[in-house]
Structure 1
Amino acid sequence: MKNVFFTVGPTQTHPKLGEYLNEGLEKGIYSISHRGKEFGGLFAHTVSSLKTLLKIPPDFHVFFIGSATEAMELVVENCVEDKSFHFVNGAFSKRFFQIARELGKHPEECGVPAGEGFDFQKTSIPKGTELVCFTQNETSTGVKIEMSGIRALKLKHPDTLFAVDIVSATPYAPVDYGVADCVFFSVQKGFGMPSGLGILIVNDRCIQKSQVLHGNGINIGSFHNFPALLKSAGKNQTPETPNTLAIYILGRICDFYLEKGLKQIQKETDEKAALLYAFLDNNPRYPAFVKNETWRSKTVIVAETPEGSAGVIKKLAGQGYIVGAGYGEFKDKHIRIGNFPMHEIEDVRKMLKVLE
């Protein structure tokens, strides 16, 4: 019996992963020089395919780094001299805040209880804030933020940089690049790849901010600061020897998604999410953790397990369906179910049958 991984990242691998991996081996791609013409073409193709898929404007720059957590550090280092402001409703949005504090900045937060979203109309951004940080989809609790709420805040603070963590939302959830100055994600969720590659997407305002900070003697990092990443990207390269395998496979998966169509991916994701939430809302043994439907993530579905999560996880695993435990303090109280493009609706139905 082959397991189906409904975990929230790493998760079920893309069905073409093996084919693309072997394709790269046969072509010798993983042995080419990262300073050569062939790698430059590979780099340019992946960037172009990703920009087309995610509708990234031409004036945004794509950087390949190690992880989304690294992206948090880079964004704070390069965009903040003193003050950032963070919307915190779970462990990963909290991590963004803590990183800013550990880097010696003076971050402030708007915090709400786990499982809840934000009322942006009632939120004021402190004076002097240089960067506002959002988590579009909080993986620890299954709460989403709509771009419309972020847009409403941006209209009030057009000169402030906005950073959005899109790790477990992309490629499903759209991003308004007229609102977000930088976004970032890693590939082990919606792209169905092994972990080890982060994508950081920034506009010229972020680049200019980092240059001003550097000019003022502020530490913006070393090998992976924005100017260094930009200089290398301009040559279709990375500052150091990159994860060529992952960059190549990401480009091929983007090609696959483009051929399938983003609208179809979104439609299938919505259908699977509707099936999952309908089951949870009609089953008191597994109530949805996020009660307000407008805050419910479509890609990370979190269910409460009043009798404990271990037995539920074991029951599902016995039938070949692997789901995630709750995160942190909710480890024994929740299960988390990933709903990414690789997950088939028939497998969702079969998994829910086991839970009945």
Structure 2
Amino acid sequence: MKQVYFTAGPAEMYPTFEHHLRTAVENQLGSISHRSQKFRDIYKFTVEQLHTLMDIPDTHAILFTGSASEVWERILLNCVEHESFHLVNGSFSKKFYEYALSLRKYAHKQEKPFGEGFDYAEIEVPEYAEVICVTHNETSSGVQMREPDIHKLKRSNSKKIIAVDIVSSAPYPELDFGVIDTAFFSVQKSFGLPAGLGVWIANEKCLAKSERLQKYEDATIGAHNSLPALWKNFKTYETPATPNVIGIYLLGKIAEDLNAIGAETVRKQTEEKYKVLNKFVESSSNFSPSVAEERHRSRTVVVANTKKPSAEVIAQVKKANMIVGSGYGPFKESQIRIANFPAVSLEQVETLIGELKKMEY
């Protein structure tokens, strides 16, 4: 029997994935040239669907990389001359900070304990930081930063670039890209696709900074997939190097499917499933919310503390052909993570909760 994946990425494939993959294979998309009109049409279609789904203005380029992790490096090389600032409250926001250190940037951080979130009023941005690095949804800890707080942070630091990690939440967050300079995600989470494609959204402010750095003798913006090279190719819907053509095609088709539902409906469905999961975790005798403040709890990755070892919980639900994730890093044995992505239905979430309830007796 087919298993249902509630893992935080790779995750459950979107229901229409198989159909679109068969179409890609039948049309031999794995063999076409990335300099062909056929590919340009695929790239253009995917960009148009993402513009609609995420309300991205034409001022922003949509660029493709091998992963979201690669985008950390691209942003730091192309947009930071000296100093970056990072909000750190989990393993992935910490990695973004550590990437900056490894690239010899002067990286500042404001750090919270694992499982705690940031509110706008408490954030102190260093005067000379050029880029503010924010994680909207911390996949490791299940903490989410509210969009209004992100927007306020940018508006009060208008001369700085703000970079938002939406890896495990896009397309759920309602970000104002009239305010957000750059954001990025990968496709193996909320878009329900196989891994191997990163998506980088960047505006002309980012491009201008990169082009300025490119002129400095003592600076490097990278030899591969620099922002000016990606942007130049984007103008004709091409890429500097051979891309993941099938991945780009599939992303466009899934985005089209989500547009048929409507972004607002996708958000409402996500909220509905979250409320059911959250209510169960709050009232359970075996589980408890790992994030104390409800306003900071992720709507797309629900993390729960477990009284029993997480391995026992995972093994129990696996008997019912459902896969949930363990906690991240040091919390592997004491937490579970349940992905609440569009590929998973309310009925499947309720079935999972039914299995988890059996452990309470």
TM-score range (shorter-chain normalised) is over 0.9
Residues of 1 paired with 2:119 and 2:235: CA distance? Answer: 40
Deviations 1:219-261 (A, max 9, x none): 0001210001011111211111110010001111111111111
How large is the Cα RMSD of the aligned pairs?
Answer: 0.9
4+ residue stretches of structure 1 with deviation over 2 A? Answer: none
Residue 140 of structure 1 corresponds to which residue in structure 2? 140
Residue 302 of structure 1 corresponds to which residue in structure 2? 303
Structure 1, unpaired ranges of 5+: none
Residue 124 of structure 1 corresponds to which residue in structure 2? 124
Residue 107 of structure 2 corresponds to which residue in structure 1? 107
Residues of 2 paired with 1:184 and 1:206: CA distance? Answer: 13
Deviations 1:188-209 (A, max 9, x none): 0111000000000000000000
Residue 165 of structure 1 corresponds to which residue in structure 2? 165
Deviations 1:31-72 (A, max 9, x none): 111111111111111111111111001110010110000000
Residue 326 of structure 2 corresponds to which residue in structure 1? 325
Judge conservation of contact 1:150–1:179 (CA < 8 Å) in 2.
no
Matches within 5 A, 1:339-354: 339-354=340-355
The one-letter amino acid paired with 1:108 is H
Residue 79 of structure 2 corresponds to which residue in structure 1? 79
Residue 284 of structure 1 corresponds to which residue in structure 2? 285
Residues of 1 paired with 2:111 and 2:249: CA distance? Answer: 39
Judge conservation of contact 1:12–1:192 (CA < 8 Å) in 2.
yes
Tell me by how many angstroms 1:179 deviates: 2.3
Residues of 1 paired with 2:238 and 2:123: CA distance? Answer: 41
Deviations 1:321-353 (A, max 9, x none): 100000011011100000000101111111111
Tell me by how many angstroms 1:155 deviates: 2.3
Residue 199 of structure 1 corresponds to which residue in structure 2? 199
Deviations 1:67-86 (A, max 9, x none): 00000000000000110000
The one-letter amino acid paired with 1:293 is E
Deviations 1:72-125 (A, max 9, x none): 000000000110000000000001000000001010100001111113213221
Judge conservation of contact 1:154–1:179 (CA < 8 Å) in 2.
yes
Residue 314 of structure 2 corresponds to which residue in structure 1? 313
Judge conservation of contact 2:147–2:173 (CA < 8 Å) in 1.
no
Residue 181 of structure 2 corresponds to which residue in structure 1? 181
- TM-score (normalizing by structure 1): 0.98
Residues of 1 paired with 2:178 and 2:129: CA distance? Answer: 19
Matches within 5 A, 1:247-266: 247-266=248-267
Kindly indicate whether residue 152 of structure 2 is the aligned counterpart of residue 152 of structure 1: yes
The one-letter amino acid paired with 1:101 is L
2:289 is paired with a residue of what secondary structure? coil
Residue 208 of structure 1 corresponds to which residue in structure 2? 208
Percent same amino acid at aligned positions? 42
2:185 is paired with a residue of what secondary structure? strand
Judge conservation of contact 1:121–1:152 (CA < 8 Å) in 2.
no
Residues of 2 paired with 1:125 and 1:260: CA distance? Answer: 39
Kindly indicate whether residue 43 of structure 2 is the aligned counterpart of residue 20 of structure 1: no
| Count of residues in Structure 1 that have an aligned counterpart in Structure 2 | 356
Judge conservation of contact 2:119–2:145 (CA < 8 Å) in 1.
no
Residues of 2 paired with 1:149 and 1:119: CA distance? Answer: 6
1:314 is paired with a residue of what secondary structure? helix
The one-letter amino acid paired with 2:97 is F
The one-letter amino acid paired with 2:354 is K
Residues of 2 paired with 1:25 and 1:2: CA distance? Answer: 23
